[in-house]
Amino acid sequence: MTAPWCDKTGHEIREAVVRGDVTARVVTEAHLARIHALDGKIDAYTQIWEEYALAMADRVDEKRRSGATLGILAGVPISLKELMCTKQGETTCASKMLAGYRSPFDGTMVQRLAAADAVFLGKVNMDEFAMGSSTENSAIKTTKNPWDLGCVPGGSSGGSAAAVAADLCSMSMGSDTGGSIRQPAALCGCVGIKPTYGRVSRFGLVAFASSLDQIGPLTKDVRDAALCLNAICGRDPMDATSVDLAVPDFTAALTGNVKGLRIGLPKEYFTDALGAEVREKVMAAIEVLRGLGAETVEVSLPHCDYAIAAYYIICTAEASANLARFDGVRYGFRHPDAKDMRGMYVMSKSAGFGPEVRRRILLGTYVLSSGYYDAYYLKAQKVRRLIKQDFDEAFEKCDVVLGPTTPSPAFRFGEKTADPLEMYLSDIYTISVNLATLPGLSLPCGLSSSGLPIGMQLIAKPFAEETLLRTAHAYEQNRGFDMGKPPIA
């Protein structure tokens, strides 16, 4: 049975704390107790900040007693993905390369959550340097899916999704480079939103692929996602790519009204490659939205077939450049047996990075090398532009694009690790959104016959998060079934 307060949403907790029905300390203690009781089976947390979390909770309670206005996330217990820079604890990116590294600063997103009076429970597991779709690439531990401990939680934000699904936190912050928020959200039955590129500051997010990375929340419901975006979005002078655009009250978009909304159904997303059970649940969700007055129209995204190839050229090229800094000189792992500078570079990187990270660095270095740049990297950027144009044309006919988040429910451990391409195909429906710098949201639309969550994805125009949230909330409130809790919960 879920401990009191652990099964509540963030907005329910915040409202109770503001009213004085419960203290932030009591809520935090309940979550910490649940983590100690359950996380040994799930392995979502890499760091548990017990004293720090209780101190944050006490500050919230003192603030309330003093009559000060509480922040919009007052008392809400949140976990942070391992690649987010924090002065508290370590920032390891789930890699041997950064084991023991302590950031001298808090990232902008972390600062904004703290200013909103959130409580940080600790950090959660991920694929090393966010490179993976199953969290099997972590150098720390293997996180399990709470719905079936023999299945992956997705990746790279697998620890975030598993922690939210198992009520080990109320919300979790993840990052999404090619689906790393939305895919694990789908596999673990959570809501996950990747905002438009530039909507949230990346300052303090350890970079994987700088033109694709974006921070976003994984939550228990759509309202929590909107509430969290209210706290973290906005221009940041520390991030030149963050957009100077007014941040609306995203919760005001949750009207439940989708009458006249035009939903685009890409014919390329509903092929034989889509699992039968996923198709069934997504089509049922479409009927719910039609019943609420939304209209559907077929659209085409003809270049999405090339998305994975283009993505794995662009992201690996950027990873090769970004990860060059981890050389054992100033910080990070330095091999103890190195005898000279060349040996230090080669041995430290070979031992410090896991196989998937090494694979991507090598591929990225290759496509950027002399004689191959035009043939691979430049061509991939041209394909990226075509994918963006496909979406632009689709949005001339519709307000939101709807489809599956993943081709199938969660797969079993080891099922795809021997074939990297098969693993990469797990993100076939999510990658295009990052290439086109669009906002995307995944939310649960049912369970498979084996009791595993299935997610559907909504995609909107740049900076149209309000449209995503309005559509998702309307469906969530009218879907006619309860997803329930994972068996472990």
- Which residues are tagged catalytic? 81, 156, 180
What phi and psi, each to the nearest 5 degrees, are found at residue 350?
Answer: -65, -40
Q: Closest by alpha carbon to 475, among 255, 266, 187, 165?
A: 255
Q: From CA 149, how far away is CA 1, in angstroms rounded? A: 18
Q: How many CB atoms lie within 10 A of CB 258?
A: 25
Q: Establish whether the linkage from the previous residue to 211 is cis, with ω within 30° of 0.
A: no
Q: From CA 150, how far away is CA 486, in angstroms rounded? A: 13
Query: Cα torsion at 321, 323, 324, 327 (round to 10°)?
Result: 180
- What number of CA atoms fall less than 13 Å from residue 219's CA on the CB side? 24
**DSSP class per residue in 378-426:** IHHHHHHHHHHHHHHHHTTT-SEEEEESSSSSPPBTTSSTT-HHHHHGG
- Side-by-side strand order, sheet with 191-194: 45-48, 119-124, 77-81, 171-175, 215-219, 191-194, 440-447, 453-460, 400-404, 262-266, 295-299
